C-alpha cells in the first residue's frame, strides 16, 4: 500500500508545487505559467480518480471500505504520544468522492481560465492563487482531524480573499474582499472555539478517534450540553463559509472577483466546505451508540437555518438583475437545501439510533448528492454566465437578451444548467433536491416542525425554477438590448462547458448503478455495531410535487419574461419587499452590530490606550531606564569585567549554597 499512500499525498503536492513554481517564477514563464497549473491539476485529478476507484474496488458498495488514515508525521509533539497532533490524511468514501469532485472541477475551470483570463494582466498571481486554493480545498476534504481541516479551511479563506480582490484597484472589489474576509472570520472564530472545545473534551482531534471515544466519555466528561455546543460551534464555521443566514451577506458581493473564481470558489467548491464540515460533524450529531443521547436541539438549529435561508435567498435571486448576483443568491439557497437535508437526515438517524433501530442515512446521502450535483450545474451556470459576460461586457441582464443566436453553445449549455437547477427530470437537480424534500417530509413524522420546513423547501423549488428561467429568458430570449457586438467564446471555454453540461445529465443518473448515492458517501463505521442502510426515500407523490412546482415556476417565467403576457412587477413586488427587508433590516442589523462594535471598541480602545498602554509604557519606560543604567555598568574596562566575573562567582556560589540549604530545609519540613 506504499504506492497508494504516496498517491494520496501527491494529490495535494501537485497543486502546491504548481503554486510554488508559478508564485516564484511565474512572471518568466510563458502565459504566466498557466500550463504548469493545468498540468498539475490534471495530475491531481488522475490520481484522485485512481484513489476513488481503489476505494470502490476494495470496499464495493455499502461502505465496505474501511476508512484509511494515511499517516504523515507528528506535527506538534506532546508528552502523551496519543495527544500529539499528526499531519495525516483520511481516505474514506466521502473524502475519496470529494477529492475527485474537487480536482475535476478545478481542472475544468483552470482550462476554462486559459481562455477567460487570456488578456488579463497579473496572470501569474491568478494562477498561483488558484493553485494554492486547490491545495487548500483538497487538503480540507482529505484532512484526518479538525485542526488540519481548519488550517486548510483558512488557506481557502485567504485565497478567496485574494481572488475576490483580484482587481484590487477597483474599490468595490477591494471592499468586497474585505467584507468576505471579515464576515467569514466570524464563523471561523466559532469553528476555532469548537476545535478547542473538542480538544479539551476528547484530547484528540482525529475524526475516527473522536467517534471511538464518544461512548466512554458520555455523559461525565462529554456532558449533553457540550455535545450540543460542539456541533453548533462547528456549524457556526459552516454558516460563515457557506454563506448561510445571518452570515450570507458576503457571497453576493464576492461576485466582484473574476467569474472563474466565482464559479470555482463561490459556487462549486469552497462554499461546499461548510456542508462538508457539517457532514463530518455527524459524528457528534448521530453518535452511533444508544447510550448517548443525540443533540436534537443542534440538529433542529441546523435544519431550521437551512430551511429559512433557502427560501430567503431564493426570493433575493428573483429580483436581482446582475446575472452573477442571481447565481450567487441561488448558490446560497441551494447550499441551504443541503443543510436542510443534513438536518432532516440527522434527525431521522438520531431518533433511530436512540431507539436502537437500523439507521437509514438517506438524508445524509441526499444532501451530499445535492452537493455533488450542484457543483456541476452551478459551475456550469457560472462559467456560462462568464462566457456571456465575456461576450457582452456587462453583468446586467437588462442589457442582454436574444443571445441564443450569436452564442448557440453557451445558450444551450445554460439551458441544461437552468433545467438542472430548476429540478426538471431527468436533470441532476431533480433527483437530489427531490430526495432532500422527501427526507424532510419524512422527518415531519418525528417532529412536526419539519412539515413547515418542507413547505419552505417546496416554495423554494417553485422560486428556483422561476428565477432560473427568468435568467435564461432574459439573457438568451427576445431582442438584444446591449451595445457591444456579441460573439461565441473560443473552444477552450466552450469545451469545459459542454463537459459540464453532459454531467448535469449524467450525475443525476449516476446514483442508479450505485444503488443509491448513499453507497458513495457512506456514513458510519461497520464496527459501530449498528446496521446502516442508505435506502433513499422513494415517494412518488412527493417527487411529483417537487417536479410539479418546478414546472409551474418554469411556466410562470415563460409567461412573464418570454411571452411578456404577465407584467413582471406583479410577481416581483413581494420579493422586492423581501429584498428591501434584507437591505434595510438585515444589513441594518449587521451595521448596527458593527456600530455597536465600534462603540464598544472605542471604549476598549480608550481603556487600552490609557490603562493598558499606560501600564505598558510605564513598564517600557522603566525597562529602558534600567537598561540605560545597566549599560553604564558596561564601562569597557577589562579590569572591571574581571571584577564582575569574580563578583559573579561569589554571588552564584552564595546562591547555590542558599538554594541547597533551602532545599534541605524544605525536605526537613516535609518529614
Partner 1 sequence: MSSYGVFLPEAILVATALASAVLGFAWRKRPDLLWAFAVIGTSLAIFITLDMMGLGIGRALNLSVWPSPVGTQGNFAAELKMKVDTFALFFQLMFEFVAFLAILASRGFIRPEEPHQGEYYALMLLAVVGMMFTAAATDLFVLFLAFETSSLSTFALVAFRKRDKQATEAAVKFFIIGAVSSGIILFGISLIYGIAGTTSIGKTTTDLLLLRNGLTLAGHPEIEPPLIIALVLLIAGFGFKVAVVPFHMWAPDVYQGSPTTISVLLTSASKNVGIVALFRVFLIGLLSVQVDWVATLAILAIVTQTVGNVVAIPQRSIKRMLAYSSIAQAGYILIALAVGAIALQSSPPHTDNAAYVAAFGLVGGMLHVFVYGAMKAGSFLVVAGTESRGIPDEIEAYKGLSRRMPFMAFSMLVFLLSLAGIPPLGGFFSKFVLFSSAVNAAVFNPWYLALAVSGVLNSALSLYYYARVIWYMYILEPEVGTAKEAVPRSIEAAVFVALAIVMLTAILAVFFLGYLTDAARSFFGF
Given the rule CB under 8 A, which residues bind partner 1? 73-75, 77-79, 620, 623-624, 626-628, 630-631, 633-634, 636, 638, 640-642, 644-645, 647-649, 651-653, 655-657, 659-660, 663
For partner 1, the closer of residues 393 and 655 by Cβ is: 655
For partner 1, the closer of residues 144 and 253 by Cβ is: 144
For partner 1, the closer of residues 77 and 219 by Cβ is: 77
Measured distance CA(295)–CA(27) in Å, rounded = 53
Closest separation in Å from C-beta 89 to partner 1: 15
Closest separation in Å from C-beta 84 to partner 1: 11
Measured distance CA(296)–CA(347) in Å, rounded = 7
For partner 1, the closer of residues 591 and 620 by Cβ is: 620
Closest separation in Å from C-beta 136 to partner 1: 16
Q: From residue 118, how far is each of 82, 123, 262, 342, 529 by CA, in Å?
A: 50, 8, 17, 40, 55
For partner 1, the closer of residues 77 and 426 by Cβ is: 77
CA nearest neighbour of 417 among 356, 317, 330: 330
Measured distance CA(533)–CA(523) in Å, rounded = 9
For partner 1, the closer of residues 81 and 448 by Cβ is: 81
Closest separation in Å from C-beta 618 to partner 1: 14
- The shares of helix, strand and coil residues in the chain, as percent rounded to the nearest 5, are 75, 5, 20
Spatial contact of 205 and 195, defined as CB atoms under 8 Å apart: yes
Spatial contact of 317 and 467, defined as CB atoms under 8 Å apart: yes
CA angle at 585 for the pair 579 and 586, rounded to the nearest 5°: 80
Closest separation in Å from C-beta 196 to partner 1: 17
HSE-CB for 195 with a 13 A CA cutoff = 19
Q: Are strands 68-76 and 85-91 parallel, antiparallel or unpaired?
A: antiparallel
Phi/psi at 72 (5° precision): -105, -110
CA angle at 144 for the pair 143 and 148, rounded to the nearest 5°: 55
For partner 1, the closer of residues 86 and 324 by Cβ is: 86
Closest separation in Å from C-beta 414 to partner 1: 44
Closest separation in Å from C-beta 632 to partner 1: 11
For partner 1, the closer of residues 541 and 667 by Cβ is: 667
Spatial contact of 590 and 183, defined as CB atoms under 8 Å apart: no
HSE-CB for 197 with a 13 A CA cutoff = 19
Q: CA-CA-CA-CA torsion for 52, 54, 59, 65, nearest 10 degrees?
A: -70
For partner 1, the closer of residues 541 and 628 by Cβ is: 628
H-type helices in 521-586, by residue range?
540-557, 568-580
Give 636: exposed, middle or buried? Use CB within 10 Å, 0-12, 13-18, 19+: exposed
Q: Kindly state the cell numbers that stand for 248.
A: 450570507
Burial per residue of 548-559, b for 16 or more beta-carbon CB atoms within 10 angstroms, e otherwise: ebbeebbebbbe
Closest separation in Å from C-beta 619 to partner 1: 9
For partner 1, the closer of residues 1 and 628 by Cβ is: 628
Q: Kindly state the cell numbers that stand for 524.
A: 458510519
Q: Which residue has the cell 477529492?
A: 99
Closest separation in Å from C-beta 638 to partner 1: 5
Helix 540-557 to helix 449-476 angle, to the nearest 10 degrees? 40
Closest separation in Å from C-beta 657 to partner 1: 6
Closest separation in Å from C-beta 494 to partner 1: 41
For partner 1, the closer of residues 448 and 636 by Cβ is: 636
For partner 1, the closer of residues 221 and 617 by Cβ is: 617
Q: Kindly state the cell numbers that stand for 577.
A: 419587499
Closest separation in Å from C-beta 26 to partner 1: 19
Closest separation in Å from C-beta 80 to partner 1: 8
Other Cβ atoms within 10 Å of 564 Cβ, number: 11
Measured distance CA(181)–CA(177) in Å, rounded = 6
For partner 1, the closer of residues 114 and 132 by Cβ is: 132
Sign of CA dihedral 410, 413, 416, 422: negative
Amino acid at each position: 500500500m506504499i504506492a497508494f499512500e504516496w498517491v494520496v499525498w501527491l494529490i495535494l503536492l501537485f497543486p502546491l508545487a504548481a503554486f510554488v513554481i508559478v508564485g516564484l517564477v511565474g512572471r518568466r514563464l510563458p502565459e504566466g505559467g498557466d500550463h504548469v497549473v493545468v498540468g498539475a491539476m490534471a495530475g491531481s485529478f488522475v490520481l484522485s480518480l485512481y484513489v476513488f476507484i481503489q476505494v470502490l474496488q476494495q470496499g464495493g458498495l455499502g461502505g465496505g471500505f474501511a476508512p484509511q488514515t494515511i499517516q504523515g508525521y507528528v506535527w506538534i509533539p506532546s508528552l502523551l504520544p496519543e495527544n500529539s497532533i499528526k499531519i495525516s490524511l483520511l481516505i474514506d468514501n466521502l473524502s475519496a468522492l470529494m477529492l475527485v469532485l474537487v480536482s475535476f472541477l478545478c481542472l475544468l475551470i483552470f482550462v476554462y481560465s486559459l481562455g477567460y483570463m487570456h488578456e488579463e494582466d497579473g496572470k501569474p498571481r491568478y494562477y498561483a492563487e488558484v493553485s494554492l486554493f486547490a491545495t487548500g480545498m483538497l487538503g480540507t476534504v482529505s484532512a484526518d482531524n479538525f485542526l488540519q481541516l481548519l488550517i486548510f479551511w483558512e488557506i481557502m479563506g485567504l485565497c478567496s480573499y485574494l481572488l475576490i480582490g483580484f482587481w484590487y484597484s477597483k474599490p468595490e472589489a477591494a471592499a468586497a474582499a474585505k467584507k468576505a474576509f471579515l464576515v467569514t472570520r466570524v464563523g471561523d472564530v466559532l469553528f476555532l472555539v469548537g476545535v478547542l472545545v473538542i480538544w479539551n473534551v476528547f484530547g484528540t482531534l482525529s475524526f475516527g478517534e473522536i467517534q471511538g471515544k464518544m461512548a466512554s466519555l458520555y455523559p461525565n466528561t462529554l456532558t449533553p450540553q457540550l455535545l450540543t455546543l460542539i456541533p453548533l460551534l462547528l456549524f457556526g464555521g459552516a454558516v460563515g463559509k457557506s454563506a448561510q443566514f445571518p452570515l450570507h451577506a458576503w457571497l453576493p458581493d464576492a461576485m466582484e472577483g473574476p467569474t472563474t473564481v466565482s464559479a470555482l470558489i463561490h459556487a462549486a467548491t469552497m462554499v461546499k466546505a461548510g456542508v462538508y464540515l457539517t457532514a463530518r460533524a455527524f459524528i457528534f450529531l448521530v453518535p452511533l451508540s444508544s447510550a448517548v443521547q443525540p443533540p436534537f436541539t443542534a440538529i433542529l438549529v441546523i435544519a431550521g437555518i437551512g430551511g429559512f435561508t433557502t427560501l430567503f435567498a431564493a426570493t433575493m435571486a428573483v429580483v436581482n438583475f446582475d446575472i452573477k448576483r442571481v447565481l450567487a443568491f441561488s448558490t446560497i439557497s441551494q447550499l441551504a437545501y443541503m443543510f436542510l437535508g443534513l438536518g432532516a437526515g440527522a434527525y431521522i438517524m438520531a431518533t433511530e439510533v436512540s431507539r436502537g433501530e437500523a439507521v437509514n442515512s438517506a438524508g445524509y446521502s441526499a444532501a451530499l448528492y445535492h452537493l455533488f450535483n450542484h457543483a456541476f450545474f452551478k459551475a456550469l451556470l457560472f462559467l456560462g454566465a462568464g462566457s456571456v459576460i465575456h461576450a457582452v461586457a456587462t453583468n446586467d441582464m437588462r442589457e442582454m437578451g436574444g443571445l441564443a443566436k450569436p452564442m448557440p453553445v453557451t445558450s444551450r449549455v445554460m439551458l441544461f444548467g437552468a433545467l438542472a437547477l430548476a429540478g426538471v427530470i431527468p436533470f441532476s437537480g431533480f433527483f437530489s433536491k427531490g430526495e432532500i424534500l422527501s427526507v424532510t417530509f419524512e422527518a415531519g413524522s418525528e417532529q412536526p416542525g419539519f412539515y413547515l420546513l418542507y413547505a419552505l423547501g417546496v416554495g423554494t423549488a417553485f422560486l428556483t425554477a422561476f428565477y432560473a428561467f427568468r435568467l435564461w429568458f432574459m439573457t438568451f430570449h427576445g431582442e438584444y438590448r446591449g451595445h457591444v457586438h456579441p460573439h461565441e467564446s473560443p473552444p477552450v471555454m466552450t469545451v469545459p462547458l459542454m463537459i459540464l453540461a453532459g454531467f448535469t445529465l449524467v450525475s443525476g443518473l449516476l446514483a442508479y448503478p450505485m444503488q443509491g448515492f448513499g453507497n458513495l458517501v457512506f456514513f458510519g463505521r461497520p464496527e459501530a455495531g449498528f446496521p446502516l442502510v442508505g435506502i433513499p426515500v422513494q415517494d412518488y407523490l412527493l417527487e411529483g410535487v417537487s417536479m410539479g412546482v418546478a414546472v409551474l415556476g418554469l411556466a410562470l417565467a415563460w409567461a412573464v419574461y418570454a411571452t411578456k403576457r404577465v407584467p413582471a412587477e406583479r410577481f416581483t413586488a413581494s420579493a422586492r419587499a423581501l429584498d428591501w427587508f434584507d437591505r434595510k433590516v438585515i444589513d441594518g442589523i449587521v451595521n448596527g452590530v458593527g456600530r455597536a462594535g465600534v462603540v464598544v471598541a472605542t471604549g476598549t480602545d480608550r481603556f487600552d490606550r490609557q490603562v493598558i498602554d499606560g501600564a505598558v509604557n510605564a513598564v517600557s519606560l522603566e525597562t529602558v531606564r534600567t537598561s540605560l543604567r545597566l549599560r553604564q555598568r558596561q564601562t569597557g574596562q577589562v579590569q572591571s569585567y574581571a571584577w564582575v566575573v569574580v563578583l559573579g562567582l561569589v554571588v552564584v556560589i552564595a546562591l547555590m549554597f542558599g538554594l541547597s540549604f533551602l532545599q534541605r530545609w524544605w525536605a526537613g519540613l516535609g518529614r
